[in-house]
Structure 1
Amino acid sequence: MSEQYWNASASASASASASSSSSLNSSSHDTEDDHTIAAILAEEERLRYDGKLGKRLSHLDSIPHTPRVIGDIPDANDATLDHERLAERLATYKLAELQIEGDGNCQFRALADQLLQHQDYHQYVRKHVVKQLKSHRNLYEGYVPMKYKSYVKKMKRLGEWGDHVTLQAAADRFEAKICLVTSFRDTCYIEILPRDKSPSRELWLSFWSEIHYNSLYQTGEVPTRRHRKKHWLF
């Protein structure tokens, strides 16, 4: 697992270039895809109100969340220790990971799995996060240590790693509480809440610090995902 995701750091730029011709640029596909996504979200809301969702942890203490860009990538030894720490925490809280592809899109893939029941919808999630960043510049610009337009342009590219600024934008856009179980030494759990709104859903992710995100479920409840046909992809 560690080798696959560690190599993702070196290949992120290549992945972004190879993916630049994706159907994000097709307005007709966007319209059809948005209708499909709307139907999935409506079904997810129906299930939530039926009481079949929400089997999540509620007793963990969270620290205040401050959006930030990606920090330093740990060296190989620290990364191994971080991963072992995360695995121990997940076992303690009876959580299990649905493994997310390590292609530079892992944050958006993990969010897509939680929101839409499949990581292949990651381009839809990225598109709406970028819209949120563009539309509400005043909310996020202060956390970005570079020209904001360049940052937004960078985040639009497939294969570009998401950070805690994009997590905040996702929480705001989808009105979701994002629950992050981390490998940080001093921080086990972070809640990212939408600004000025009550969350309508919870999204649970694991964060192998600065390296990889996976989608979280209770142990024994990790779903089996079939790869979708190409015409379903965004």
Structure 2
Amino acid sequence: MDDSHINASASSSSSLSSSFQDTEDDQTIASILAEEESSKLDRRLGKRLSHLDSIPHTPRVNGEIPDVTDATLDHERLSERLVTYGLAELQMEGDGNCQFRALADQLFRSPDYHKHVRKQIIKQLKHFRKFYEGYVPEKYRSYVKKMKKSGEWGDHVTLQAAADRFDAKICLVTSFRDTCYIEILPKDKDPTREIWLSFWSEVHYNSLYGSGDVPTRAARKKHWLF
């Protein structure tokens, strides 16, 4: 057998191994999810913000990152809101995957499943293009290709896709001056779970819990530091 056949065989074996690994990862995720009582909404956090009105959610790509002064004020505003409503953050790494890490923590109780979450969101964006392309100002295929890369920041389009993919109501406590709370609902479905995230506007996402209920999970890298 010549080198070209050996290389082709090795490449084929590598692709097959990767495919098996992806399938195994998906099965692991499915098992973890099955163990959770995902059909029951945990409304304990929702009751704390039940008096707040949520604005209609319009998916959008990321805006400009605020300057240091505005970002600092935004962070202080968000921190005050979390204290007011008895919420606390589990800090996500600031590696560009924070939205997907926070979603993974809420869905699977582990930020380490962020690659799986991103993969599922990309599938949603590809398979249901008509739902999302109107919110993307650039060429849609370029947007999806870019969003597929690890480290690419998630936006409100990917949040909507996550809500649709996982049949989840995403509850977003924000640092926006005029908008404290946003609910993102799946299209044409009743949500089967709630996901709670904090959004330091255009800068960072974290996973939310009730004060005193934040799990202890050692991060492998430094948390987002500003």
Q: Does 1:187 align with 2:179?
A: yes
Q: Does 1:61 align with 2:53?
A: yes
The DSSP-based 3-state class of the residue aligned with 2:46 is coil
Give 2:46's aligned amino acid.
Answer: L
Give 2:191's aligned amino acid.
Answer: P
Q: How many residues align?
A: 202
Partners in 2 of 1:136 and 1:161 — Cα distance?
A: 21
Q: Identity over aligned residues, as a percent?
A: 74
**Residue equivalent to 2:4:** none
Contact 2:93 2:219 in 1 (8 A): no
Deviations 1:8-61 (A, max 9, x none): xxxxxxxxxxxxxxx9x9212111111111111111126x64x8x432123122
Q: Does 1:28 align with 2:20?
A: yes
**Residue equivalent to 2:157:** 165
Partners in 1 of 2:102 and 2:19 — Cα distance?
A: 24
Deviation beyond 3 Å, 4+ runs, structure 1: none
Deviations 1:65-105 (A, max 9, x none): 00000001100000000000000000000000000000000
1:168 Cα deviation from its structure 2 partner: 0.2
Give the 5 Å matches for 1:185-224: 185-224=177-216
Q: 1:82 to 1:116 in 2, by over 3 A?
A: same
1:133 Cα deviation from its structure 2 partner: 0.1
Partners in 1 of 2:219 and 2:92 — Cα distance?
A: 12
**Superposition TM-score, scaled by structure 1 size:** 0.83
**Residue equivalent to 1:82:** 74
Give the 5 Å matches for 1:1-234: 26-45=18-37, 49=40, 53-58=42-47, 59=50, 60-226=52-218
Give 1:74's aligned amino acid.
Answer: P
The DSSP-based 3-state class of the residue aligned with 2:101 is helix
Deviates more, 1:58-67 or 1:171-180: 58-67
Give 2:89's aligned amino acid.
Answer: E
Q: CA RMSD in A?
A: 1.7
| Uncovered stretches (5+) of structure 2, i.e. residues with no partner | 1-14, 221-226
Partners in 1 of 2:183 and 2:126 — Cα distance?
A: 23
1:226 Cα deviation from its structure 2 partner: 4.6
Partners in 2 of 1:128 and 1:195 — Cα distance?
A: 16
Question: Which structure has the larger Rg?
Answer: 2
Partners in 1 of 2:213 and 2:44 — Cα distance?
A: 10
| Uncovered stretches (5+) of structure 1, i.e. residues with no partner | 1-22, 229-234
The DSSP-based 3-state class of the residue aligned with 2:45 is coil
